[in-house]
Amino acid sequence: MSTYTVVNPATERAETEVELAGIEQTDAAIEQAHKAFPAWRRLAPGDRATLLRRFASVIDQHIDELAELEVRNAGHTWGNATWEAGNVRDVLNYYAGAPERLVGKQIPVDGGTNVTFHEPLGVVGIIVPWNFPMPILGWGMAPALAAGNTVVLKPAELTPLTAVRIGELALEAGIPEGVLSVLPGKGSVVGQRFVAHPYVRKVSFTGSTEVGKQIMAGCSEQVKRCTLELGGKSANIVFADADLAKAAASAPYAVFDNAGQDCCARSRILVQRSAYDEFLSLLEPAVKGVRVLDPSDRSSEMGPLISAHQRDVVRGFIDEVEVAYTGSMPAGDGFWVAPTVVLAESTEQRIWREEVFGPVVAVLPFDDEADAIAMANDTEYGLSGSIYTRDLGRAMRVSRGVDTGNLSVNSHAAVRYWTPFGGFKHSGLGRELGPEAPYAFTEEKNVFISDD
Ligand code: TAP
């Protein structure tokens, strides 16, 4: 069996070794999940709910331990990592309400009644990226389990530690053996097996658009269900009538959170030309005020990038352009890139069109509302976005005009577990979170009952 050396991104030092699953181990886990499925789906809804709540409670007792693992493994700030562990708990609690609410319909028809049921699919494979190891694990796992499926889950090779621990905590909480299996391993091995193995009836994938397309093509071979949460190049649109101080103060957090390794990063700022100079003068102190510190420091707001490779990818983008200014970053070891602002010259530049997945933002002016919508939509992606204006009608018009799945008005916060999340265009397929999520892990069955 091969192993992977987990490296702390803030120190560049090796933390621990993790065994990687191969094909045989993956197949064994899928078969075990297949065997565990009938009993898990038959469990009384109230009992399944109780187990999920117990799982949430065990997570709650380990928030600090999980957060500490994430700080060391992914370089997430302490504040983010504690929020992320709490998010797994909250998502489990939220979907613990689902087993008792998976209601169907009764439809009057000639000579009887039709009733519908939501049947679980079987084994669900969840493939998680390295940028948000805990939340994305929870967003797939919790509704899939609540709907009565069993789960095999692959964390990213770079960030397996919290997922492995959460798998152990599931057993501690009484989730039966085989209902949730965590398989650290390579995407090309374990992830690919989820796509190819006939017992896996749905793949829930979060990651790059490139790999997402391969997953979708692979799933088509078996008409396998898939949900794809992919990349983004989202716009933060600031109108001249906005509270410019508020818009400038929040813009850095819309793009530099998690060091910009965020599919929702608003990495393009569009500013109405008449407010461009004033906005830029407010943005600079806000960017320079972001506290880029060792992620274990409780006051750190931004940590390092995940790996030397990712740092080099981000530097490659920066080297192509003229940087207007940067924020700060620690000296010494660690995969650091300072928050970076680029005043773009054209919408054809790579920095304006491609996902950087690092702490780099590009700014361009626009003239009017139609121009703003056209520029925001001039991308293959459509995941997130923000709009700053005091005009409610304009906020509504622009919200409807921008082709993206998740927007915020006069705020940069976009993701909540009780509201739907997902992308337009190349940003994805299907929705996660919100009250509908468990239904996405079921098939609707329609039964006619004759009243003869
Ligand atoms: P990917 O390279 O796509 O990896 C994502 C996951 O897929 C990892 O677990 C990876 O495993 C696995 N994988 C890779 N190749 C595979 C294959 N051929 N078959 C099955 N699984 C495979 O992305 P990344 O570099 O980890 O993450 C960055 C990208 O993900 C960005 O583009 C970002 O926008 C996107 N992302 C989107 C979202 C949402 S919610 N839309 C959230 C986070 C990230 P290994 O890493 O172990 O090889």
Ligand 1 probe mutation, 87, 127, 211, most atoms within 8 A of CB = 211
CA dihedral 239, 242, 248, 251 (to 10 degrees): -60
What is residue 358's predicted lDDT score, i.e. its pLDDT?
98
Q: Which amino acid is at 63?
A: I
CA atoms within 13 A on the CB side of 13: 5
194 CA: nearest ligand 1 atom: 20
Catalytic residue among 219, 226, 263, 264: 263
Catalytic residue among 68, 84, 229, 301: 229
What is residue 11's predicted lDDT score, i.e. its pLDDT?
98
pTM of structure: 0.97
120-176 pLDDT, tens digit each: 999 999 999 999 999 999 999 999 999 999 999 999 999 999 999 999 999 999 999
347-365 pLDDT, tens digit each: 999 999 999 999 999 999 9
For the segment 276-295, the average pLDDT, to the nearest whole number, is: 98
What is residue 39's predicted lDDT score, i.e. its pLDDT?
98
Q: What are phi and psi of 19, to 5 degrees?
A: -75, 135
What is residue 253's predicted lDDT score, i.e. its pLDDT?
97
How far apart, in whole angstroms, are the C-alpha atoms of residue 203 and residue 197?
Answer: 11
7-25 pLDDT, tens digit each: 999 999 999 999 999 999 9
Q: Which residues line ligand 1 (CB under 6 A)?
A: 127-132, 154, 156-157, 186-188, 191-192, 206-208, 211, 214-215, 229-232, 263, 355, 357, 383, 428
How far apart, in whole angstroms, are the C-alpha atoms of residue 72 and residue 6?
Answer: 9
How far apart, in whole angstroms, are the C-alpha atoms of residue 445 and residue 117?
Answer: 5
Give the confidence band of 1 by pLDDT, cuts at 50, 70, 90: confident
For the segment 57-81, the average pLDDT, to the nearest whole number, is: 98
Ligand 1 geometric centre to CA of 225 (Å): 18
**pLDDT at residue 53 is higher than 90:** yes
57 dihedral zone (left: phi>0; alpha: psi -120 to 50; beta): alpha
Ligand 1 probe mutation, 132, 263, 433, most atoms within 8 A of CB = 263
Q: What are phi and psi of 45, to 5 degrees?
A: -50, -40
Give the confidence band of 414 by pLDDT, cuts at 50, 70, 90: confident
Ligand 1 geometric centre to CA of 128 (Å): 7
130 CA: nearest ligand 1 atom: 26
Ligand 1 geometric centre to CA of 203 (Å): 13
Catalytic site includes residue 65: no
Residue identifier of the C-alpha nearest atom 46 of ligand 1 = 156
What mean pLDDT, rounded, does the chain reach? 98
Find the DSSP H helices in 303-427: 308-319, 350-353, 369-377, 392-401
- Is 113 in a helix, a strand, or coil? strand
What is residue 33's predicted lDDT score, i.e. its pLDDT?
98
157 CA: nearest ligand 1 atom: 47
Catalytic site includes residue 19: no
**pLDDT at residue 413 is higher than 90:** no
How far apart, in whole angstroms, are the C-alpha atoms of residue 385 and residue 406?
Answer: 6
Q: What are phi and psi of 323, to 5 degrees?
A: -85, 130
Q: What are phi and psi of 292, to 5 degrees?
A: -95, 100
CA dihedral 438, 152, 173, 431 (to 10 degrees): -20
How far apart, in whole angstroms, are the C-alpha atoms of residue 331 and residue 309?
Answer: 19
Q: Which amino acid is at 412?
A: H
For the segment 203-213, the average pLDDT, to the nearest whole number, is: 98
